[in-house]
Amino acid sequence: MDDSSLAKPPRMDAWVRLQKASTAVLDRVEAKLKADGYPPLSWYDVLLELRRADQKTLRPVEIEKRILLAQYNVSRLIDRLVAASFAEKLKAPNDGRGVVVRLTSHGEELLSSMWPAYEAAVKQEFSEKMTDADADDLMRVLGKVLP
């Protein structure tokens, strides 16, 4: 992913490493969760946003803004969550176009039971391998490239 004709492109190297490292760690974390019978992290992300939200309820368009997913993708992910009864869809008050998505108690249970497995996987594949100062460095530098 670099060009060997360039002598010393440390930032291009950093870009390549960013992609490789984040993918590698994510793959391994997801694999552990799946091995324990848990759904993908994208499910967890949405349910967590719902739990944080007022009334444990969000409009799909709000979910779209909070997590990094395209509109049609959010729409389908919600349908899967509803099909698994981790969330429910209700008509939005004051807006005939929209719906609201609400976390169910079954969804709260998933969040609770999944968190320890998730935390352990991230610890083992990521946190354990660095210091808090390293993490601060990551936060600082990656903060510069966020949208």
Partner DNA sequence: AATATATAAATGCAGCTGCATGAAAATACA
Partner DNA sequence: TGTATTTTCATGCAGCTGCATTTATATATT
Interface residues with DNA (CB under 7 A)? 34, 42, 59-61, 69-73, 75-80, 89, 92, 94-100
**Using CB under 8 A, which of the segments 57-65, 78-86, 93-101, 139-147 binds a second copy?**
139-147
Helix ranges, 7-131 (H): 10-35, 41-52, 60-66, 71-83, 105-125
- Comparing CA positions, the residue from 1, 35, 60, 8 lying closest to residue 124 is 35
Residue 76 contact among a second copy, DNA, none, beta carbon within 5 to 8 Å by kind: DNA
Among 1, 54, 93, 96, binds a second copy (CB under 8 A): 1
Regarding 132 and contact with a second copy (CB under 8 A), the answer is: yes
Whether residue 120 contacts residue 33, with contact meaning beta carbons closer than 8 Å, is answered with no
3-state secondary structure of 89: strand
Regarding 45 and contact with a second copy (CB under 8 A), the answer is: yes
CA dihedral defined by 63, 67, 72, 77, rounded to 10 degrees?
A: -80
Regarding 3 and contact with a second copy (CB under 8 A), the answer is: yes
Q: Which residue has the tokens 């899967």?
A: 80
Regarding 35 and contact with a second copy (CB under 8 A), the answer is: no
Residue 109 contact among DNA, a second copy, none, beta carbon within 5 to 8 Å by kind: none
Whether residue 92 contacts residue 86, with contact meaning beta carbons closer than 8 Å, is answered with no
Q: How many residues bind a second copy (CB under 8 A)?
A: 49
Quote the tokens at residue 92: 């939005």
- Contact footprint for a second copy (CB under 8 A): 1, 3-4, 10-15, 17-27, 41, 44-45, 48, 52, 68, 115, 119, 122, 125-127, 129-130, 132, 134-147
